[in-house]
């Protein structure tokens, strides 16, 4: 059974703080790692698709890095804003399969 | 484009009843999937399909059936509802991997909240 873990489970930060979360996944048979942003009462929305070791992706104040050899990805938010409050999910896909395994998410609350 | 649509939004069933959750997408995506979301468990894959006529099991397929007769539709059937199937169900679709610009990014429907009494 493939295991995808995210840490921390939740955190509260002050507006303007920078923060980061971790997604850990199996380091063998890697195909892709996705990050999603999930606001309360809405559906998950894709942030990044990462496929190559060393990938760095950026969208505004949010960026992500990928290390497939050691099996982790970091998501960074610079200068957090209240509208960044959401649950951030990662999803791992192994090569040779179409199955996505989601982590349980990191719930972020940005305090104004 | 409507994207991914799901019906109904809410449903209450009695134990033993059957029902079908509907999912449709208008993006011509080959890949469609069903997830359930339970507190503390994240999203768990129930079934998925890589094209019309092709389906396969995910992590938690027991008690659910699927079929894919068209590219657009991917219904999820609960054969005999149980309280353990109380959950929020999400349908998602994507292109198959390698097709730019979004690769295999999944697009999610709004979800169906199901309660089984």
pLDDT digits (tens, 9 = 90+) for A78-96: 999 999 999 999 999 998 8
Using the Cβ of A55 and the Cβ atoms of chain B, whether some distance falls under 8 Å is answered with no
Decide if A93 touches B, using CB distance below 8 A.
Answer: yes
What's the pLDDT score for residue B14? 97
**CA nearest to B57 within chain A:** A99
Say what the pLDDT of residue B61 is: 96
Of A38 and B98, more confident: A38
Measured CA to CA, the distance from residue B93 to residue B95 in angstroms comes to: 7
Cβ(B43)–Cβ(B92) below 8 Å:
no
- Give the count of Cβ contacts less than 8 A between chain A and B: 56
Interchain CB contact of A7 with B (< 8 Å): no
Report residue B99's pLDDT band, with 50, 70 and 90 as the boundaries: low
Q: Do B108 and A44 touch (CB under 8 A)?
A: yes
Query: pLDDT (tens digit, 0 to 9) for every residue of chain A, 112 residues total?
Result: 678 999 999 999 999 999 999 999 999 999 999 999 999 889 999 999 998 899 999 999 999 999 999 999 999 999 999 999 999 999 999 988 889 999 999 999 999 9
pLDDT > 50? residue B100: no
Taking the C-alpha atoms of residue B36 and residue B78, their distance in angstroms, rounded to an integer, is 13
Residues A39, A108: Cα–Cα separation, whole Å: 10
Q: Which residues of A touch B97 (CB under 8 A)?
A: 31-32
d(CA A59, CA A33): 16
- Which residues touch B6 (CB under 8 Å, ≥6 apart)? B21, B22, B23, B89, B90, B91, B109, B110, B111, B112
pLDDT tens digits, one per residue of B25-53: 999 899 999 999 998 888 999 999 999 99
- CA-nearest residue to A103 within chain B is B42
Beta-bridge partners for A23: A6, A73
**Interatomic CA distance for residues A59 and A50, integer angstroms:** 13
């Amino acid at each position: 059974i493939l295991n995808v873990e995210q840490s921390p489970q939740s955190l509260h930060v002050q507006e303007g703080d920078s923060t980061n979360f971790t997604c850990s996944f199996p380091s063998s048979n890697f195909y892709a790692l996705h990050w999603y942003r999930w606001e309360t009462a809405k559906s998950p929305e894709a942030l990044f698709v990462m496929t190559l070791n060393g990938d760095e992706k950026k969208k505004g104040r949010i960026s992500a890095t990928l290390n497939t050899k050691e099996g982790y990805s970091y998501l960074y938010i610079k200068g957090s804003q209240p509208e960044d409050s959401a649950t951030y999910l990662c999803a791992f896909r192994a090569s040779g399969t179409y199955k996505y395994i989601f982590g349980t998410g990191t719930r972020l609350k940005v305090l104004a | 484009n409507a994207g991914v649509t799901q019906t109904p939004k809410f449903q209450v069933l009695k134990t033993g009843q059957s029902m079908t959750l509907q999912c449709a997408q208008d993006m011509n995506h080959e890949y469609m999937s069903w997830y359930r979301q339970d507190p503390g468990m994240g999203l768990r894959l129930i079934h998925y399909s890589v094209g019309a006529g092709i389906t396969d099991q995910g992590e938690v397929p027991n008690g659910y059936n699927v079929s894919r007769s068209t590219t657009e539709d991917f219904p999820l059937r609960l054969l005999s509802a149980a309280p353990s199937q109380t959950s929020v169900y999400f349908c998602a679709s994507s292109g198959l991997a390698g097709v730019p610009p979004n690769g295999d990014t999944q697009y999610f429907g709004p979800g169906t909240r199901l309660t089984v009494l």
